[in-house]
Amino acid sequence: MDACIRIAFAHRASLRWWALENPINKLRWYLGPPRLTFYQWEYGDGGHKPTGIWGDFVPPFKHPRPRTKPSTFRSQFVNARPQDAITPAGFAQAFFEANP
């Protein structure tokens, strides 16, 4: 994590944008509050995992998906698998469109 932050700051003059994603309480200790906090369902994906994005970027427009059933943060990690840690497709597309 420290190396990512040092690289971003060392090369910030040549970067169009940069971003670090992490659960909302991890990077807060180092960088303060995130520039963007979102839940997966706010970008059309299922799930309710709160995520923070730190950096210099244009926050993507949110397009919430109607939630069909209640979900909780805890229930997503009971049977978590490695593929569950993949960035949700709806957020990735929205971020890409806002930060080409």
Residues β-bridged to residue 20: 54
What value does the mean pLDDT take over residues 8-35? 84
Where is average pLDDT lowest: 15-19, 39-43, 44-48, 54-58? Answer: 44-48
For residue 15, the model assigns a pLDDT of: 85
Residue 66 is predicted with a pLDDT of 64
* Total domains, the chain: 1
Across residues 69-91, what is the average pLDDT? Answer: 61
d(CA 47, CA 33): 22
In a domain, 53, yes or no: yes
Strand ranges inside 1-100, DSSP E: 18-23, 36-39, 50-56
Domain of residue 24 covers 2-68+86-98
Check if the beta carbon of residue 41 is closer than 8 Å to that of residue 49.
Answer: no
What does the pLDDT read at residue 67?
59
Residue 79 lies in a domain: no
Average pLDDT in the chain: 79
74 part of a folded domain: no
Please name every residue paired with 18 in a beta bridge, in sequence order, or none if there are none. 56
